[in-house]
Structure 1
Amino acid sequence: MVDVLRMTAFPEPGAADGGNPAGVVLEAGGLDEAAMLRLAAEVGYSETAFVREIVDDGAVRRVRIRYFSPEAEVPFCGHATIATAVALAERDGAGELLFETPAGDVAIATSTVDGEPTAAFTSVEPRVTPLDDAVLGRLLDLLGLTSAQLDPTHPPRAAFAGNVHPIVVVADRATFDGFGFDPRAMRALMDEQGWAGTVTVLHPLVAGAVYEARNLFPVGEITEDPATGSAAASTGTYLRELGVLTPPAEVEIRQGAHVGRPSLLRVTVPPTGGIVVRGTAAALPRP
């Protein structure tokens, strides 16, 4: 019997049902890809993390890890990374870790803050690229938006910090709250474009400092992600690339309210290199 922990990552402080649920398997060395995919489908969360091996070389604990949605493997998953790091800290003690992911090596730091386990990851080297005009047009059509409804100070881009996330920023709060989309059509566009992560839609509460996020991830019964660590990292590099903030800078991303799971992701944007995303995680009741 495989022991699957059920965790929630990035819950907003004080929120009873906050954060993004993730499955965590700390002993997955004996599982093949088919078994991991089957377990991820059984758990039913947007992602489940599988720890394949932990090697302590005396300098750092190296963690071989893979991530699966209910339908496919995902190169990297931020909220499942935070959940796994907290679970390992609770089992083995806090400290430094290096997650060896399909997207690259991700440095992890775990600690206890005010009695609460906290984890932070530093993303792989990020990048930002233009969004093709035709693809952007199709994406906006699916969202029921026009280019006139976007924030002109935050032009659309594709950002990578472990997964590719197309990012669009909506100027008006009511428009941001009210847009909808066809999950099947969105999934088809994402698969066609190779967007393994989410489609990230932002609204600036305080430009360069505080953003509300909706991250679209149609898979199985899921349509929107409550908290998306890789999108938070991609948002950090996006804001740095645009010059909307001056590094080093701190950014808060509030997410999940639209799906009833309020979440808070804290992002540190250095002048160069990987983006740091930190948050807490807690165990969920077993079924």
Structure 2
Amino acid sequence: MIVHACLRDGRGGSPTAVVAEGSFTDDERRAVPVAWGTSHAVFVSTHDGQVSLRFFTAEGELPACGHGTVAALAVLAGRSGMSEYRTTLLAGGRSFAGRAVRRPGGFQALFDPGPVTLREPTGPERDLILPLFPVLAGPAVVASVGRPRMLIPVPTRADLAALTPDLDRLRQATDRLGLLGCYLYTVPTEDGRAAARMFAPSIGVPEDIANANSTACLAAHLSRRGFTTLTVDMGDALACPSSITATTEAGPEGVRVDVGGIATITE
């Protein structure tokens, strides 16, 4: 089935294929998002009360996919018939909590993406990536929740909308550096509202409509500046408006993030 994950005001969202696990080859898994016209597919299996997820694009398997997790939680919550659904998810070699609450027209799904690691970019990372994005509002950071990606601030939404990176050069650079992609974001307002665009040609996604895991990385990064709640708008350049929410809480083992959005099952 198709789930639109991370809608904004009841519209848009990232179309995601949600498929019951079966005896598929990896080639067959990679073919699903192509056949269904989505950027990602998530394969769902349940065993002894635990839910396992596998994520694929046309290029291959990913260890994690935030909007895919939101989509899977919506489907699981719908099948459960409960007004509030909670479960333990297994993906990318880790188990984590997920939940979904029934809302008018869909489900609000949230999950714990795991610990976020943050570091300064290396010299080669700066040299190969930053010239592709000439309008910057501050230093970039490399963040990871399974795979590293570069978070790059830009001054305004107009600057963000005007971005036209050379995707061939970006793919060459991210392939060489082992980066998932680049997440460009605006400086948040005082109440934590921002906009972002995620370019990830290395995984077969030139631009992502919604990227929850990168938003979780941004939330962890900005928590050091006092932001505890973020709402990030994405997808406008693709005519698919989406919004992702993230909250942070400091703990003894570092910053804990909850991230998610509204999802609706359409097919």
If the length of structure 1 is used for normalisation, what is the TM-score? 0.84
Aligned equivalent of 2:42: 49
Kindly indicate whether residue 155 of structure 2 is the aligned counterpart of residue 193 of structure 1. Answer: no
Cα displacement (A) at 1:205: 4.0
Partner of 1:160: 144
Shift of 1:255: 0.9
Deviation at 1:34, TM superposition (A): 2.7
Q: Which residue of 1 aligns with 2:75?
A: 87
Aligned twin of 2:226: 245
Aligned pairs (5 A) from 1:1-287: 5-15=1-11, 18-25=12-19, 27-51=20-44, 53-56=45-48, 61-94=49-82, 95-102=85-92, 104-114=94-104, 116-143=106-133, 145=134, 149-152=135-138, 155-196=139-180, 198-206=181-189, 209-218=192-201, 222-240=205-223, 243-246=224-227, 249-271=228-250, 272-285=254-267
On the 8 A contact 1:158/1:164 being kept in 2, the answer is yes
Which SS does the other structure have where 1:261 is aligned?
Answer: coil
Q: Deviations over 1:46-95 (max 9, x none)?
A: 210011x3123xxxx31111100111111100001101110111112342
The number of residues matched between the two structures is: 262
Q: Give the letter for the 1:80 counterpart.
A: G
Report the Cα distance in structure 1 between the residues aligned to 2:112 and 2:46, rounded to whole angstroms.
Answer: 19
- After superposition, the C-alpha distances for 1:210-244 in whole angstroms (9 at most, x for unaligned) are 1110111226884211111111111111112xx21
Give 3-state SS (helix, strand or coil) of 1:86's partner. helix
Q: Which letter does structure 2 place at the counterpart of 1:50?
A: F
Offset, 1:279: 1.1
> Which 4+ stretches in 1 moved above 6 angstroms?
none
1:54 alignment partner AA: T
Deviating more after overlay: 133-142 vs 222-231 = 133-142
Q: What CA distance in whole angstroms lies between the structure 2 residues aligned with 1:8 and 1:116?
A: 10
The separation in 2 between residues aligned to 1:181 and 1:134, in whole angstroms, is 18
Ranges in structure 2 where 5+ consecutive residues have no aligned partner = none
Once the 2 structures are TM-superposed, how far is the Cα of residue 33 of structure 1 from its aligned partner? 2.1
* Deviation per residue, 1:145-181 (Å, 9 max, x gap): 0xxx4223xx211111243221010124433221211
What is the CA-CA distance between 1:273 and the residue it aligns to? 4.0
Give the conservation status (yes or no) of the 8 Å contact 1:159–1:237.
no
* CA-based RMSD: 2.1
By how many angstroms is 1:208 displaced? 7.0
CA distance in structure 2 between the aligned counterparts of 1:269 and 1:130, rounded to whole angstroms: 21
Name whichever of 107-116 and 69-78 sits farther off. 107-116
How far off is 1:114 after superposition? 4.4
CA contact (8 A) 2:119 2:143 kept: yes
Deviations 1:87-126, CA, capped at 9 Å, x for gaps = 1111123421122111522310111134632210111111
Q: Specify the SS of the correspondent of 2:8.
A: coil
Measure, in 1, the Cα distance between the counterparts of 2:203 and 2:96.
28
Judged with a 3 Å threshold, the aligned counterparts in structure 2 of structure 1 residues 73 and 216 are, in CA distance, closer, same or farther, namely: same
Contact 1:156 1:168 in 2 (8 A): yes
Identity %: 23
The 3 A distance-change label for structure 1 pair 78 and 105 is same
Question: CA separation of 1:131/1:219 partners in 2, compared to 1, >3 Å: closer, same or farther?
Answer: closer
The TM-score normalised by the length of structure 2 is 0.90
- Matched AA of 1:73: E
1:45/1:70 contact within 8 Å kept: no
2:17 and 2:32 in contact (8 A); partners too? no
Change (3 A) 1:76 1:180: same
- Amino acid aligned to 2:217: S
